[in-house]
Amino acid sequence: MRVLRNLLRTVSGSVGLIMLIITIASTVLTPFLSPYDPFALDFANAMQPPSAAHWFGTDNFGRDIFTRVMAGAVYDMRLALICVFGPMAIGVLIGLVAGYLGGRIDAALMRLTDIVWAFPFYVLVLAIVGVLGPSETNLYIAFFLVNWIGYARIIRGETLLISRLEFIEATRVLRFGKLRVTLRHILPNAITPALVYSMSDVVLTVQAVAAMSFFGLGVQPPAPEWGLLIVESIDYMRDAPWMTVFPGLAIVWIGIAFALLGEGLSTALKPKG
How far is residue 194 from each of residues 63, 132, 241, measured CA to CA in Å? 41, 29, 39
Q: By C-alpha distance, which of 206, 210, 222 is closest to 256?
A: 206
Give the binding range for another protein (CB under 8 A) out of 26-34, 36-44, 151-159, 236-244.
236-244
Chain positions 238 to 267 lying near another protein, rule: CB under 8 A, are 238, 241, 244-245, 247-248, 251-256, 259-260, 263
Q: Determine the Cα–Cα distance for residues 186 and 136; give it in Å rounded to an integer.
A: 36
Longest dimension (CA), the chain: 78
Q: Considering the complex, what minimum distance in angstroms separates the CB of residue 214 from another protein?
A: 5
In terms of CB distance, is 169 or 235 closer to another protein?
Answer: 235
Q: Considering the complex, what minimum distance in angstroms separates the CB of residue 202 from another protein?
A: 11
Q: Determine the Cα–Cα distance for residues 262 and 41; give it in Å rounded to an integer.
A: 40
In terms of CB distance, is 88 or 212 closer to another protein?
Answer: 212
CB-side neighbour CA atoms (13 Å) of 235: 4
Q: Considering the complex, what minimum distance in angstroms separates the CB of residue 170 from another protein?
A: 33
In terms of CB distance, is 93 or 132 closer to another protein?
Answer: 132
Q: Considering the complex, what minimum distance in angstroms separates the CB of residue 94 from another protein?
A: 16
Torsion of CA 164, 169, 175, 177, to 10 degrees: -30
How far is residue 38 from each of residues 66, 182, 253, measured CA to CA in Å? 9, 49, 21
Chain positions 107 to 136 lying near another protein, rule: CB under 8 A, are 111-112, 114-124, 126-133
Q: Considering the complex, what minimum distance in angstroms separates the CB of residue 23 from another protein?
A: 13
Contact yes or no for 19/250 (Cβ under 8 A): no
The answer for residues whose C-beta is within 8 angstroms of residue 17's C-beta and 6 or more apart is 7, 8, 261, 264
Q: What is the phi/psi pair of residue 170, to 5°?
A: -60, -40
Asked if 93 touches another protein (CB under 8 A), the answer is no
Chain positions 176 to 235 lying near another protein, rule: CB under 8 A, are 200, 203, 206-207, 210-211, 214-217, 227, 230, 234
Q: Which residues bind another protein (CB under 8 A)?
A: 111-112, 114-124, 126-133, 200, 203, 206-207, 210-211, 214-217, 227, 230, 234, 237-238, 241, 244-245, 247-248, 251-256, 259-260, 263
